[in-house]
Chain A
Amino acid sequence: MTSRMQTARRVSVAVARKDLRIEWNSKVLLNQVAPFSLVIMIMFAFALDNEGILQRVAPGLLWLATLFSMLVIVQRSFAVETADGALDALRVAGTEPVGIFIGKSLALMVQLFALELMLLAIALVLYTVEPTAMGYAETFATMAVATIGLGFVGTLYGGLGAGARGRETLLPLLLLPAVAPVLIGATRATEAAFGSGGAQSSEGWPWIGLLAVFAGVFGAVGALAFGPMIEE
């Protein structure tokens, strides 16, 4: 068991480094996903065009933009695996599936967190939200826990759709309903952090707790299900 755990840890580190290196080489996050997110945030601002409303709905817009951008990152994360049969090669090589799952999740989390930091900065400027010091702490805690959950669920559903025909359209259909609890929890927690609509900072922590439970459940389910899923 210890040997399997060591192997899984080695594989997860290798896969995470490999995915981040691919991003570093290709700059897709920087050159395509980040501008896409920026455009979404600006379009929201144009569509609502009212400072009061924007301040009120800024947390929801922030997380919606995150989810839409996540779809692109997850698609990309598994497109590189299937382009030349690399995922098959990983499977054939008998690499621990849980290691692949954790590695890909970690790489996704790093990319998502970087993106969320950028989106937060844009929200502060475009939507003129002004969190307190405690609000910032709560925002970063929300981002950290929600990112872990999104990383696990994104990798799980990305793997599910990787071998499917029409995966580009299948992934949003499968993934968006699954991440609805994160959207709700993260939006409520961020509303409390931003003080949107008179919400109190203390109201956010139970939602952050719920996000942590969600992350734990999807981490456990993904670790168990990812192997049989890519085997199919």
Chain B
Amino acid sequence: METVVELSGVVAVLSSFPALAGIDLAVQRGEIVLLHGPNGAGKTSVLRVCAGLLPIERGEGSVMGVNLRTQRESVRERVGLLGHSNGLYLELTVAQNVAFWASAVGASSQEVALAMQQMKIDGRLADIKASQLSAGQRRRCALASLMVRRASLWLLDEPHAGLDTAGQDEFDAILRTAVNSGATVIFASHETQRSRSLATRVIRVEGGLISGGES
């Protein structure tokens, strides 16, 4: 198995507060890893370290072989981070949003069409402005943008937030499809009941440390 994420004794600081206090984590390709824990436990910080957004103060870390201490900016083009906001341009249509990301990374129109089809935002929805979409439809549009960016590590923060049950089911199916296509997923969620059934591994984060894990 190929190790996609490897963190060893990672300490990360947010405004002089140690958000991560020595995290050890290894994630293999094709895993769907759930991070759960109370608010302020450090779940989002783990995602941000893996995305190369939060610098490592101490310890060692690598994502897809890229050293997070020395080249954290290089890892960004290979990971997709979806936080609480969707990163969409609300005045653009669904198709224009996805096409923008495709043109920014040099993806083909076939890749755009495939991503939109997989996320079920082609057809009628394609020409609707993002501002007029429901929360679930916006989420799907954001995921289609991640797909055309060819992200191989998906980092998702509360991905089920704002979705109704049907939307959550669709979302889970999308993640499984992405993993079957070779992606790896790490996500943070409070909705442990639903998320546990989706995850292949569950990790508890508390006080900036991994406090427990289960398969």
Contacts and interface: CB of A to CB of B under 8 A. Distances in A.
Contact of B53 (A21, A85, A92, A95): A92
A171 interface: no
Contact of B77 (A10, A14, A86, A93): A93
15 contacts: A21-B92, A22-B89, A22-B91, A25-B93, A84-B85, A84-B89, A85-B85, A86-B88, A88-B85, A89-B87, A92-B87, A94-B52, A94-B73, A95-B77, A95-B105
Given A84-B88, A84-B130, 8 more contacts: A13-B103, A18-B100, A22-B91, A25-B129, A80-B91, A92-B80, A94-B74, A95-B77
B167 interface: no
A15 interface: yes
Interface string B119-154: 000000000011000000010000001000100000
Nearest to A13: B103
Interface string A5-34: 000001101110110011001100000000
B83 interface: yes
Task: Please classify how large the interface on chain B is, using the bins under 10, 10 to 19, 20 to 34, 35 or more.
Answer: 20 to 34
| B52, B84, B85, B93 — most chain A CB neighbours (10 Å) | B85
A226 to B, nearest CB: 14
Given A84-B86, A93-B149, A21 B77 contact: no
A89 B51 CA distance: 11
Contacts of B183: none
B188 to A, nearest CB: 15
Contacts of B53: 91-92
B90 interface: yes
A18 B130 CA distance: 14
Contacts of A10: 103-104, 106
A26 B90 CA distance: 10
